[in-house]
Amino acid sequence: MEAFLPPLESAKFIADNSKDVSVDEEGARRVAESLFDKVSTAEFGLEGWKSLHELNPQSASKEAVAWVFLVDTLNFSFWSEREEQKYLVKYKGKMYSGYWSLCAAVNRALDDGIPITSASYFATVTLDQVKHIFRSDTEVPIPLIEERHRVLNESGTVLLEKFGGSFLTCVKMSKGSAQKLLHLILENFPSYRDEAVYEKKKVSFYKRAQILVADTWSVLEGRGDGSFEDISSLTIFADYRIPQVLVHLKAMKYSEELMKKLREGTVFQSGDKEEVEIRGCSIWCCALICKHLLELYEKRGQDMRDKINAVLLDYYLWDYAREHREEMKDIPFHQVRSIYY
């Protein structure tokens, strides 16, 4: 059976054949120029993963790696049909939305003595227990609760059967290769196989698998078991926020027809042509921004390959999107209910 194209090659193929989404090379260059001075700030550095985000683990322990695995197994589909009615979680007096509501619920459970990050617990956790752990502080429940329960049981069982219940064991088996870890995740954890068919080609995005490698690198601070010498081989993580910010920054464009569908709140199916083009062009667009950024420094005689990569660009753009929610409200994000992102 023909293999799936890896994410970067998939992205190039999709961008070259895309009808409703286009990457603006000039726009990508301008974004790179606008990021030039940001590269050396905390918002662009690996340290920002902990220093800028209070809900993230602050240690580099085995438990912190287990936290990352659990959260990235559930790191999908937080968007709500109506902005004013959404899933929120209150934790230590603060309300969290979106991805951060997931982290808040996990930390709330841990504070309540529920060992939610332990494989022996989530391998057999019941649907009712999952509903309690991820209960909402509004009328709106967390989306896809049944799917979350299923992937928890599935992933916990695999961790117990193949890795002694510890994701750190899986990380150690990768021997410092991000690509090896990515493939161990894809081979063993079915819910991470984020793939599609586009123009008769089998393409991949592997958003959760790649962000799991990236967040493992971040929580281990790029050291010890987390010192991946090929971390730059990862692409950005094709979610529903990065495309929004790329269009906002004019590095990517939608056709009038697609913009109309998005504005009408069309809910697409995972694998639809429009969804594949949005996700593939986002990955390709960010690869160009990275390339231009590196070239800008090269012209100044600086080799920044250990400071500029798709992971750090992604984290920066994703945080930017959260901080500029108001300014970006006229740029719709594509709505798909999926366990992949």
Ligand X SMILES: Nc1nc2c(c(CN[C@H]3C=C[C@H](O)[C@@H]3O)cn2[C@@H]2O[C@H](COP(=O)(O)O)[C@@H](O)[C@H]2O)c(=O)[nH]1
Using the rule CB under 6 A, is 248 a contact of ligand X?
no
- What track of x and - describes contact with ligand X for positions 253 through 292 (by CB under 6 A)? ----------------------------------------
Q: Return the number of the residue (149 or 334) whose C-beta is nearest ligand X.
A: 334
- What track of x and - describes contact with ligand X for positions 316 through 335 (by CB under 6 A)? --xx--x-------------
Q: Return the number of the residue (86 or 149) whose C-beta is nearest ligand X.
A: 86
Q: Return the number of the residue (167 or 318) whose C-beta is nearest ligand X.
A: 318
Separation of alpha carbons 139 and 126, rounded Å: 22
Using the rule CB under 6 A, is 86 a contact of ligand X?
no
Is 239 noted as a catalytic residue in this protein? Answer: yes
Stretch near ligand X under the rule CB under 6 A, chosen from 61-69, 154-162, 265-273, 311-319: 311-319
Using the rule CB under 6 A, is 134 a contact of ligand X?
no
Of 106, 142, 242, 276, the one binding ligand X by CB under 6 A: 242
Q: Count residues near ligand X (CB under 6 A).
A: 22
Using the rule CB under 6 A, is 192 a contact of ligand X?
no
Separation of alpha carbons 128 and 146, rounded Å: 10
Site for ligand X in 8-47 (CB under 6 A): none
Least Å distance, CB 154 to ligand X, is: 18
Q: Which of these is catalytic: 20, 24, 239, 314? A: 239
Applying CB under 6 A, which residues contact ligand X? Answer: 49, 53, 56, 75-76, 78-79, 98-99, 211, 236-237, 239-242, 314-315, 318-319, 322, 341
The residues assigned a catalytic role are 239
